[in-house]
Chain A
Amino acid sequence: MDLSYGPDYETFREEVRGFIAANRHLAPKNAGRAARPSKEGVAWQKLLIQHGYTARTIPREYGGFGAEPDILKSRIIAEEFARAGVPGGLANQGISMLVPTLLELGTEEQKRRWIAPTLAGDVVWCQGYSEPGSGSDLASLKTSARVEGDEFVVNGQKIWTSTAKEADMIFCLVRTEGDAAKHQGISYLIFPMNTPGIEVRPLRTMTGHAEFNETFFTDVRVPVDQIVGQRGQGWFVANATLGHERGMLGDPDALENRLLALIELMKVEQVGGARVIDLPALRDRLVALQAEVAAMNYNGMRILSNQIKGEPGGMAKLIVKLQACELAHQISALAIDALGELGILYNGSAHERANGSWQWNYMFQLGLIIGGGTAQIQKNIISERGLNMPREPRLDLPKGPSAQGGQ
């Protein structure tokens, strides 16, 4: 066990701190959850890329910084930006999911055309995967693309397309080979959101806001070369990106920050003249969550060490999405209970705390437990891949190792 980063890395940490101190006035003020970065946001992103504080290992010819992969340096960058409360690099679906996919499976032309503007925040993407009838069983998707001349003609409907309203482009799974087995009939297309025949309707959720959309395709024409991978291989192309999404949803720093906000809330809020943290039942729950967050933090350090050594993440990694999403939800739940009747105030009410964000988080995080591979799908993955337990008998799955997986 050696938790020091060593002198070389501490020098690097000083460089990062120096950069932040010298440039933090340029950082966008309200980066928030906006789908499209502001002008300041784009400028900040470009500055970060230039210094290697985001898009760090993406080759220079594709608009990245071109550094050798170094997990510890990436970790230090994340730590220092979080500690300073300064927004780090953009982490939208284009950057987190499409860029790694193109790097792995895109043509040279696709890489050159799309990666740089996506990294810079100039091109915003949305993801067209789930459909009303295809959630966990994503491979059953029905949105079709028939070939007419040198074009695909896309018809169907996608759901959960967050940022579809703002996006310039979509990466989209469609069925191109109607006769093939379900996992073999899918292709991965990329096309502009202003293509005629696309309609985006906001999807209001339980939070009262429309964080997602439904996207409808009617005879949407897409040139046949706007495909990633070969026809019929879209399922395997998509699985490369699902791994990236799962990593994104389980960030231990995010848990730590939510916990610190909760501790602060319980120290500040008073009920009947006493601080909430002085109420034994609530304090007990707080310490229990603190222990769980600590456990997930150290679990994250263990995964990091395994990555450095080139070892597989194993069970420590398989459980992250399930545990981290659940824990985040419980942190919000305790905050609401700590606020008691004030916890139900919402939508800008008098006496509302933190703009109702604890309630919003509590509801939205339930969405995260369900999205990106439901908790139940996660448990299937943990039991099958982590514990080597047998699969449920499935009638629809062709034999062979390459055909596994599912959403």
Chain B
Amino acid sequence: MDFGLSLEQQMLAESVTRLMRELCPLDHVRQVAEGGSAVSAQSQAALAELGLPGLVVPEVHGGLGLGLLDAAVVATALGEAVAPVPFCARHVMAPLALIAAGSEAQQAQWLPRIAAGEVRFGVGVHEQVSRRDGSGVRCTGGALTGTALFVLDCAEADHLMIADQTGRLHIVSAQADGLELTVLKTIDATRSVGELRLASTQAEALADDGGAAVRRVIAAGRILLAADSLGAADAMIAQAVAYAGQREQFGRVIGSFQAVKHMCAEMAAKNEPCRSLVWYAAHAFDAVPAEAELVACHAKSHTGEVGRFVARTATEVHGGMGFTDLLGLHYWFKRIGFDRQVLGGPEAVREEAAILQGWTARAA
């Protein structure tokens, strides 16, 4: 019995954290964000050296063959650094889609290239969670038509993993005819999401499994967004505590006032159980698959709520400075805001959790 991270997982997290401290300090994040690319090339290259593109790809296909808990500790480290690098969708959700619903031939064709960083996927599954502005993709005769909104990690993507309205997953080339990918501008300049328009675009379908694979991919994405939000919240709490220890008013550091200390204590008290929840959800994804979808919902919704509280409270601890662009605290604030909504906000995800437990019928 050991509820916690293995030594290897702790080392993996430390490696990512160390790399990001070196290659991706706030000044660099700001540079990338203001450049509008959402990708730090130097961070991406260093993380590829570490093997992140093949993190969850089985060893037989040239990857590291690690599990979702390993991916989650990486996501937490990236969230802590507000690192502008594609990760959740490109390096985890896309290969997991192939592992779940790819034929042997498809796995042999795609997984080694994913692990080697030769193909870069974006992932569009949002219509399975929430359809907005008429989005939705139909598949007819092996070709896709329609719109996918909030395609994740779309920056520099050369391929896209897209769910049609039945939940079946398809691979399309970013160069295919009838395909148009537009970047959406969000609050979070460290992530890339896009709008994908498809008009009779040729696609390579994965297995028609009644939506099982896409549900698993969404569960993985939710757990990783929760892990990312956790890391971002950790960073905001640490910054609030540090700032409160330096800033003086009324002849004292403000961190000695109970009003300020209690704000920090509340953040820590709400955030710390999220760590165990995220770890368990990631562990369950591989070890207790029957529980994975439900606990992924819990992790996503609860870190979403706690993240919002921490983002707002940590900003308030910084007073007026927190509201400025000077400290850059808003990068974490916005990252947490992104993590909360993408792949389902707390209310939507809680409703899914209720449906999964048979507490209510699925709405038509």
Contact = CB atoms under 8 A, between A and B. Distances in A.
Interface in A365-407: 376, 378-380, 382-384, 386-393
Contacts of B295: 294
B277 A1 contact: no
A301 B3 contact: yes
Interface residues of B, number: 50
B156 interface: no
Interface stretch (B106-114, B195-203, B259-267, B334-342): B259-267
Interface string B157-199: 0000000000000000000000000000000000000000000
A397 to B, nearest CB: 14
Q: Which of B265, B353, B359 lies at the interface centre, i.e. has the most chain A CB atoms within 10 A of its CB?
A: B265
B298 A291 contact: yes
B4 interface: yes
Contacts of B350: 283-284, 287-288, 291
A41 to B, nearest CB: 32
A386 to B, nearest CB: 6
Interface string B135-169: 00000000000000000000000000000000000
Q: Which of B245, B261, B264 lies at the interface centre, i.e. has the most chain A CB atoms within 10 A of its CB?
A: B261
Interface string A197-229: 000000000000000000000000000000000
A305 B298 contact: no
B301 A288 contact: yes
Interface string B337-364: 0000000001100110110000110000
Q: Which of B256, B273, B301 lies at the interface centre, i.e. has the most chain A CB atoms within 10 A of its CB?
A: B273
Nearest to B356: A287
Contact of A277 (B262, B268, B301, B360): B360
B204 interface: no
Question: Majority SS of interface residues in chain B?
Answer: helix
Given A287-B301, A291-B298, A392-B258, A386 B268 contact: yes
A380 B3 contact: no
Nearest to A388: B241
B60 to A, nearest CB: 24
Contacts of A384: 261
Contact of A316 (B69, B252, B272, B280): B272
A299 B273 CA distance: 5
Contacts of A316: 272-273, 275-276
Interface string B266-284: 1011101111110110010
Interface residues of A, number: 52
A384 B262 CA distance: 10
Contact of B265 (A284, A309, A386, A390): A386
A325 to B, nearest CB: 11
A391 B277 contact: no
Interface string A289-326: 01110111011011011101100000110010011000
B2 interface: yes
A382 B265 CA distance: 6
A3 B282 CA distance: 13
Interface in B299-330: 299, 301-302, 305
B10 to A, nearest CB: 12
B1 interface: yes
Q: Which of A283, A316, A322, A382 lies at the interface centre, i.e. has the most chain B CB atoms within 10 A of its CB?
A: A382
A319 B275 CA distance: 13
Given A390-B253, A390-B256, A379 B265 contact: yes
A389 B245 contact: yes
Contact of A382 (B268, B277, B302): B268
Contacts of B241: 387-389
Contact of B261 (A4, A290, A379): A379
A315 B271 CA distance: 10
B283 to A, nearest CB: 4
Nearest to A300: B276
Given A1-B3, A302-B4, A380-B258, A323 B273 contact: yes
Given A292-B273, A304-B1, 6 more contacts: A1-B287, A9-B1, A283-B354, A287-B297, A287-B354, A296-B273
26 contacts: A1-B5, A277-B359, A277-B360, A280-B351, A283-B359, A287-B297, A290-B298, A291-B302, A291-B353, A292-B273, A294-B277, A294-B280, A295-B277, A295-B302, A301-B276, A301-B280, A302-B3, A306-B4, A319-B272, A379-B262, A379-B269, A380-B258, A380-B262, A383-B265, A392-B256, A392-B258
